[in-house]
Every structure is written in C-alpha cells, then in structure tokens.
Amino acid sequence: MTTPLASESIGTGRRLVLCHGFTQNRACWGPFADDLARDHEVVLIDAPGHGDSGHDEADLDDSAALVGDVGGRAIYVGYSMGGRTALHLALARPALVEGLVLIGATAGLDSEAERQARRSADEALAARLLDEGIETFIDRWLAGPLFAELSPAVAARAVRLRNRPEGLAASLRSVGTGSQRSLWPLLAGLRMPVSVVAGQSDDKFRVLANRLVDSIGPNATAEFIDGGHAVHLVSPAASASAVRRLVQRVEVDTEG
C-alpha cells in the first residue's frame, strides 16, 4: 500500500485542496488558508519531498496522483510548483477536479533545448543545496527577486527549514520546470472552470497567465492582484476572493 502524503484539514464547507510551492509545506499558507477556511473545508498537503511527506523521487505525474488520492473530488488551488502539479491532475483525472485555481503557474517550457537547460540549472541548484545546507539555501532562495517583497513573517523561513535538504534536492530533480513535459497542446481539453491568478508586478507570470487562458478557452479567466510571484502571501484577502469567485462559477455549473 502506498504511503499517503502528509495532510491536514481545517474548516468546513466545499472542499478546497491547496498545493504549495517549492521549499514550502502545508504550514506556509498563512492568512490565505485561514481566510478560505472560514467557509470551506481546506485540505493542506505536503508535496513529495516536502514537510512530513516522503516520495522524494515522485515526478509530476506521480505527484499529481498522490495529491489526488489525498484530496479526492474538490476544487484544487495550486501555487507555482503546486500549480503545475494541480494542472497535471486536472488533465490526468478530470473527474476529481471540480475547479482549478493556478497561481503563478505555467504549462511548461516549449522546447527540449529550454527544458534541458533548466534541468541542468536545477541539477546544479540541487547539488548546491546539499553542499551548503538548508539554512544557507533557504536564505539565498528567499533573497531572490521572486520573493524579495516578502516580509519575514510572510516568508515563513522557520517553517521552510523543517523541510529535508534531500527531499528538496530530489524535488528539484524530479518536478522542476525542466522535468515537466509541455502541457500547452493539451490545455484546450480542460472542461472545468479555471482561474489563473498572477501578481500585477510578476511580469513573467502575467504573460503566462494570459497564455494559459487563451490556450484553455472560454472556461478560463485571468485575475491580476497587487503583489509579485507569491501574490497569495502578499495579498491574501484579495487572493482568497479570487478563489471564491471560482467557487461560485463551479457552483453555478453544478446547479446547472
């Protein structure tokens, strides 16, 4: 029997499954999850290689399957790495995914040359992590341009340090963007309501958000909220409102 991913549930109501980003774990969602738990059941999951979960070698297909086994039928909310995992799940097991919220996510790199370059970069990053230790790595990671706007409280450094360096290194190698096949040609097959969220100041992912919406079709919408890449941490109330708007669309579809 496969050991399930570590998880916990807070709140009651329609089920939302939250899939976190790289170096995070289920304790990193902060006020965003607390807000949603006021009127939803919120399932928080440690991704493979993170928190209390094992499955260090799981690739994106395996990660999606493991998340779906824990989350069941629900609306899935994925940030960055978690968004790519949730997108894989929506394509592989659409019956489980009532609705999908992608925050700072992508459907992959277009060319094999780009993927190879990214795999090489992620391999070097994984080796550096194992060499310098998790504290130095997390500090360097949070000092990068994607997260420079995060306050110490929002960045949750101490919580990120609970991750195992071996798990994070394996995650870089197994589910990094370079290891993801391009999902762009498959997106038009998604039939559930989709909301693609990006920070107003996250130029790269605003462009990707528009591309995702164009590729998915009329059941997808884009929302741009004040903040950068981790917009749900910087603007939790506005980001939670975007999720609730997606929930309303799901409920209309269900009632219809």
Which of 78, 170, 159, 191 shows the shortest CA–CA distance to 126? 170
* Model confidence pLDDT, tens digit, residues 125-150: 999 999 999 999 999 999 999 998 99
Q: What is the 3-state secondary structure (H, E, C) of 36-52?
A: HCCCEEEEEECCCCCCC
Quickly count: other Cβ atoms within 10 Å of residue 183's Cβ. Answer: 20
Quickly count: other Cβ atoms within 10 Å of residue 117's Cβ. Answer: 13
* Model confidence pLDDT, tens digit, residues 14-45: 999 999 999 999 999 999 999 999 999 999 99
* Model confidence pLDDT, tens digit, residues 158-185: 999 999 999 999 999 999 999 999 999 9
Which of 35, 27, 100, 36 shows the shortest CA–CA distance to 68? 100
Q: Which amino acid is at 193?
A: P
Indicate the domain borders of the chain.
7-255
- Look up the pTM and report it: 0.97
Quick one: 2 exposed, middle or buried, by C-beta within 10 A (0-12, 13-18, 19+)? Answer: exposed
Q: What is the CATH number of domain 7-255?
A: 3.40.50.1820
